[in-house]
Amino acid sequence: MIAGDDRVNPPPQGIALFDIVAAAEKKLHVEAEAKRYARYSGPRFDHLIAQQIDWYRAWL
């Protein structure tokens, strides 16, 4: 999960990391226009945490 407007770790860095992960199944989510910590509160958090919970249910 990448914040689309992260200025500490810009999206191209996260995308590059995603690209080198050698997993058969992987998914990248970019939260458009979110700043670094904005994704951890409010409606963005609700959306992102739901995705994370789905991942845990599928893989753990």
Domain housing 18: 2-59
pLDDT at 22: 93
pLDDT along the chain (60 residues), means of 10: 91 96 90 82 84 90
How far lies 48's CA from each of 3, 21, 22, 24, in Å?
11, 21, 23, 22
* Residue 45 structure tokens: 């958090």
pLDDT at 31: 87
pLDDT at 37: 82
Mention every residue, 6+ apart, whose C-beta is less than 8 A from residue 30. 1, 2, 3, 4, 11, 14, 15
Q: How many domains does the chain have?
A: 1
